[in-house]
Amino acid sequence: MQIETLKIFCDLVETKSFSQAAERNFVTQSAVSQQVRGLEGKFKRRLLERVRGRRELHLTQEGEAFYEASREVLQAYGRLNESMRQLSGTVEGTVRVATVYSVGLHELPPVVREFMALYPGAKIDLEYSRTTRVVRDVLGGAVDLGVVAYPEKRRGLEVVPLGGDRLVFICRPEHPLARRKKLRASDLQGQNFIHFERDIPTRRATDRILRAHNVSVHRVAEFDNIETIKRAVEVGLGVAVVPRPSVLDERRSGQLAVVPLAEPEWERAVGVVYRSDRALSTAARKFVELLQRHGAQG
């Protein structure tokens, strides 16, 4: 039995998907099935059960025991590799990072570039998703680190604050509010708003602040990522509240008017989350430290 087989099995259990387990391990779905059959044949026990008529997977009692033991083996193997890297004094390996679009597209690139320059033997594997998926992937072990807005402390997660950035009002340059030096929440009353979708933390924060100031706006559209929202504002569909770093280019080019918001609560917290029961590799720790330095400077 090889370490790779145990990893495939654990990935299958955590993702509940043959296709995702195959993708994580750069093999075919049939290879994943063969590995599972091989394990069941070796131990003469059924480890997984499929729900008839559905694509769901469930662990048997024997499968649960095998999964827990396999995780321990993989964690011990990871610690062994990390110990060897520390003895050699090198920072190596891949750091799997999931992040939301607004942070990943506009705030992480300079950090990733600096990290790669400092540690050429290491690699950052970066993927973009919405907050709920990022947290799920961290807890499931699909990624090492998650970088999200408004990180929430919850069981099984460690949170490392990275500081924050201001939320700002954006509109077309010819909009009546475009030339204002600063806006208060009350100035947004009745505006046609383009929102993030309801489960996105920045949307929840915006709704909370508007309610606190008894401000009502007209919801024109909802989107799940920052780029779509910016394009919708550019074509005149409405106005929006977004993180300031995400619109610096559009402000410089004159595509959008960017107006600061006066109240102190228009501040978006950003942080790193990772599993509390797993020790970070040296490379992952170095990346978190670099994120903290950039956050302190920002």
**Alpha-carbon span 105 to 13, nearest angstrom:** 31
- The verdict on pTM exceeding 0.85 is no
Q: How large is the average pLDDT for residues 291-297?
A: 78
Q: Which residue has the higher pLDDT, 13 or 229?
A: 229
Q: Region 246-251: what's the mean pLDDT? A: 94
Strand 122-128 versus strand 93-99 pairing type:
parallel
Give the model's confidence band at 222: pLDDT under 50 very low, under 70 low, under 90 confident, else very high. very high
Number of CB atoms found within 10 A of residue 164's CB: 16
Q: Report pLDDT for 204.
A: 95
- What is the pLDDT, as a whole number, of residue 118? 93
Q: What's the pLDDT score for residue 89?
A: 61
Identify which of 191, 184, 188, 172 has the alpha carbon closest to the alpha carbon of residue 258: 172
Question: Has residue 85 got a pLDDT over 80?
Answer: no
Tokens of 29: 């779905």
Q: Six-digit token pair at 62? A: 């024997």
For the chain, what percent of residues have pLDDT higher than 70?
94
Q: Which residue has the higher pLDDT, 146 or 92?
A: 146
Mean pLDDT (whole number) for 60-85: 83
Question: What pLDDT score does 53 carry?
Answer: 57
201-206's contacts with Cβ under 8 Å and 24+ in sequence apart are 201/131, 201/148, 201/149, 201/150, 202/102, 202/149, 202/150, 202/167, 202/241, 202/242, 202/243, 202/268, 204/150, 205/150, 205/167, 205/268, 206/167, 206/241
The Cα diameter of the chain in Å comes to 74
Domains of the chain: 3-86 (1.10.10.10), 92-163+269-297 (3.40.190.10), 165-267 (3.40.190.10)
For the cut 70, the answer to whether the pLDDT of residue 86 exceeds it is: no
